Structure 1
Amino acid sequence: MNSSVRPCHVPIERNAAMRQLRRGLCALLVTGAAAVSSGCQETTTAPVPPPAGRAALQQALADIVRAGAVGVQLRVHDDAGDWTASTGVSELGKSEPPSTDGRFRIGSITKTFVSTVILQLVAEGRVGLDDPVDDYLPAYNIDRRITVRMLLQHTSGLFDYTGDHDADGGFEAGIPLHGAEFVDARMRGYTLDELARTALSEPARFAPGERWQYSNTNYVLAGLLVEKLSGTTYATQIRTRLLEPLGMSDTSLPGAEPEIAGPHAHGYLEYQRDGRTELADITELNPSWAGPAGEIISTTADLDKFLSALLGGRLLPPQLLEVMRTPFPVPDRPGGFGLGLVDRRVGPDCDLFGHSGGIHGYLSQLYGSKDGTRRVAMSITLNQDPDSQADAFVPGAMSILSTLCR
């Protein structure tokens, strides 16, 4: 097992390690890490001057690393064509930058894949967006007011099994995803049934459809719904409906497998043990706790293929793609949340569509213009809690996303 734990003497603020998955798209990019080298490369072997028009992107990457990232890789497709770059290091203690073809955990971007499959099933007449989920998953006694649309839109009110706020605003823990407890048990496996029952044993946060609140439970149930409708696993449906037709050969749904196959950058997690701050190489973990809410491993090239096909209208009928893009308002956030697809307003008359992802050791971004002709895919590797330096990466990330506006 490729993992190690070493002491680190940099104090950090302790927050819920996976609050990014709970809050999802409410934060643009959040992380913290010890500063590493920031020479941006267009290839992964030797630094080269950026081509014309790419200097701002290169500077943004350097800013992200200076703000604390271990490494970052970026793929941009815009009117000037394709451009890839990376900076920082692939592994602490070594000098190689992340590979621009490297694989990484995409976290909650997985939700966009699951939502796309469900909308394809809607197009086939096998389920309706306004059908009660209880009609298909009666074993869970789900409130009959909760519809398929509410799951995909995060308006069900269901408790988030990764942890959630109670009525008084306090944080109520879910399954153990934090600190030394998680590091020691990171190979533990979960079933979808276990995750669903854990969540549904807690009171709802609000009445179905009343408002928006991110909950990973919605997509565990969405995964179970896909399995009920198809008679196969949700992973099989994603592979046969999306990955194989699009030639996404470097994308996988690992299930309970802890390794990341092929070239990849390492992710890290700082945590407290007996009053000491320690650092774990968290690259290998059992991602079954995330399941359809966040288990996929991919590359920037494969994610770019997916987003191009989705926003370009090749995966869904036009009317369902429009429904997917139509946002439900999120308080204090421009844009809003559609059906597994975020409307992220990054400037006047500039809305981008996609999703962000956060999982131990990794943060990711996948956004494109409404028609999918301009796109950004990015992976950042961490060495602290994803909440620890929430504001630090925002300027660099927004600088990159804003290049898609015109």
Structure 2
Amino acid sequence: MGRHRLRTALLAAALVAAAAAPALTGPAVAAPVPRTAVTLGAAHEPPYAAELTKNLLAHMQRLRIPGAIVSVTTPRAGTWTTALGTRDLTTGEPIRTDDHMRVGSITKTFTGTIVLQLVQEGRLSLDDPVAKYRKGVPNGRRITVRQLLQMTSGLFNYSEDLGFNERLDQDPTAEWTPEELLDIAFRHPVYFPPGTAFHYSNTNTVLLGLIAEQLTRQPLAKLYERRIFRPLGLRDTSYHPSTTFPRPHPAGYQFISNVDSLTAPVLTGKDAAWADWSAGNPYDVTGANASWASAAGAAVSTVDDLRRWAPALATGTLLDARTQRERLTFVPTSDAPGAPAYGLAIADILGFIGHDGQIPGFTSFMGYDPARRATIVVLANLNQSPDGTAPANELTKEIIAELFPS
């Protein structure tokens, strides 16, 4: 991708398959060290709050995370929600617990739920071939709806296409249709025969979104609202495949990586901004267009709504028991110790059932542990730290290590 050799691609569950696209908007701004916390929810802070807050702030400083919202619910201590750091690096305004954020691949849990509802209504089957609903899909006669949901279809992930990433770099506000995204994916050979391996691919979920719209003759935004958001009272959750999303919201930030300074000794104009970014200052990418994420990642939510959605998702509130059992049939994502397992548009991450997300400017995690009846939600207004890690996931690991060490 030219002399800058951008590390781009996957809108993904970062603990499942990480990396984010480098949408470029706004000026580079220096990141102050987050120092304050605002706690809301419980009448009294739980015993763990002070120590956990100190450790989370230390992680934020190390990982250059401008702001984060954290919520932990346990049977014994109730719900503790805290806002840490800043929502705007220019003004230093504190981040707020009611801020809206893009939630990236958590969107997949909404799309997957819609598809599973259609399954239990008899409008399609998990074992139907994709070719029954969509022509032109490579291996479409052999790939099933189940394999799309489970990321075992083998379909190429359009987010890994070089030309796609180059266009994102050049014009982060560009509008994409789902059909354009699938066209990119289908020009590539499949990764493997259907059902023989796991590869996280946004193509699967974009395809599922189109199938859901085709069967219901309703747009995805309306399906989400009518079938999920309204029944569960998720008033601040919505679908925004565009450059804008509801307020209040923080600015979303992104670092660039892998700038080749040896091949670019003299930088002027736009290149000077790249140099500033590589020197350690993140860019404001709040206005990047999320249409390229589509049904795989263009939703927006708040910490309170995700705190409700996580247990509803994990326990099958919107599905019957049989369909929920299908959803919670997991496959390994890798052979690495402690690697997540993946079900039907849902993940088991260190015992927490849910999903995470990564999109320019933002990372997210939500999960519910049925054994502990515990919920964790973390939202951060940075999509990737300079060391390549996903901010929300790193903060989540700290919470699990401190509060749920077993």
| Band the TM-score falls in, shorter-chain normalisation | 0.7 to 0.9
TM-score by length of 2: 0.83
Does structure 1 retain, via aligned residues, the 8 Å contact 2:69–2:82? yes
d(CA) in 1 for partners of 2:219 and 2:386? 32
Point out where structure 1 has 5 or more consecutive residues left out of the alignment.
1-12, 164-171, 346-350
CA-CA distance at 1:263 after TM superposition: 1.1
- Given residue 238 of structure 2, which amino acid in structure 1 is its aligned partner? S
1:101 corresponding residue in structure 2: 98
> Within 2, Cα distance between the matches of 1:297 and 1:287?
10
Report matched runs for 1:241-260 at 5 Å. 241-256=227-242, 258-260=243-245
SS at match of 1:305: helix
Q: 1:348 — aligned with what?
A: none
C-alpha change, 1:30 and 1:23, in structure 2 (3 Å) is same
Residue in 2 that maps onto 1:4 = none
Match of 1:326 among 326, 329, 338: 329
Where does 1:4-403 land on structure 2 (aligned, <5 Å)?
Answer: 15-19=6-10, 21-22=11-12, 24-26=14-16, 34=31, 36-43=33-40, 50-67=45-62, 68-79=64-75, 80-140=77-137, 142-163=139-160, 173=162, 175-176=164-165, 182=168, 184-256=170-242, 258-271=243-256, 273-274=270-271, 276-278=275-277, 279-331=282-334, 332=336, 333-345=338-350, 351-370=351-370, 373-382=373-382, 385=384, 388-390=387-389, 396-402=395-401, 403=403
Cα distance, 1:239 vs. partner? Answer: 1.1
Deviations 1:151-182 (A, max 9, x none): 1111011111010xxxxxxxx52512x6xx63
Amino acid at match of 2:162: A
Query: Aligned-pair RMSD on alpha carbons?
Result: 2.9
Verify the 8 A CA contact 1:30 1:390 in the aligned structure 2: no
Q: Deviations over 1:194-242 (max 9, x none)?
A: 1111111111111111100101000010101111211112222111100
Task: Summarize the Cα distance change of 1:235–1:387 in structure 2 as closer, same or farther, 3 Å threshold.
Answer: farther
**Alpha-carbon contact 1:358-1:386 (below 8 Å) kept:** no
Tell me the distance in 2 between the aligned counterparts of 1:30 and 1:394. Answer: 14
* Residues 323, 98 of structure 1: alpha-carbon distance in 2 compared, 3 angstrom cutoff: same
C-alpha distance in structure 2 between counterparts of 1:89 and 1:29, whole Å: 23
Letter in 2 for 1:78: T
**Letter of the aligned partner of 2:328 in structure 1?**
R
Is the Cα–Cα contact under 8 Å of residues 187 and 285 in structure 1 kept in the other structure? yes
Considering fraction of residues, name the structure with more helix: 2
**Distance in 2 separating the partners of 1:392 and 1:363:** 6
Q: How many residues align?
A: 372
Corresponding residue SS for 1:366: strand
Shift of 1:385: 4.7
- Distance in 2 (CA, whole Å) between partners of 1:224 and 1:142 is 18
